[in-house]
């Protein structure tokens, strides 16, 4: 990854920021497509899969 690639990505973000409807749409879709994550889930998985502490 070069600075040029970073700069290109930043320019695309800036352009998107100036179109609020599209920014909002992408933000909502990004959130909707995000996997469920929480520290509780992580701790539960460790307790169950690693430590074999929960059934």
| CB-based contact 44:54 (threshold 8 Å) | yes
- Provide, rounded to the nearest whole percent, the portion of the chain with pLDDT above 90: 51
| Burial letters 7-41, b for 16+ CB under 10 A, else e | eeeeeeeeeeeeeeeeeeeeeeeeeeeeeeeeeee
Which is more confident, 36 or 48?
48
Q: What are 19's two structure tokens?
A: 């179109």
Residues 6+ apart with CB under 8 A from 17: 23
- Provide, rounded to the nearest whole percent, the portion of the chain with pLDDT above 70: 96
Domains of the chain: which residue ranges? 3-50
């Amino acid at each position: 990854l070069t600075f040029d690639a970073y700069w290109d990505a930043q320019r695309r973000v800036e352009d998107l920021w100036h179109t609020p409807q599209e920014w909002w749409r992408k933000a909502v879709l990004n959130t909707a497509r995000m996997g469920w994550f929480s520290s509780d889930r992580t701790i539960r998985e460790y307790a169950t899969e690693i430590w074999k502490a929960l059934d």
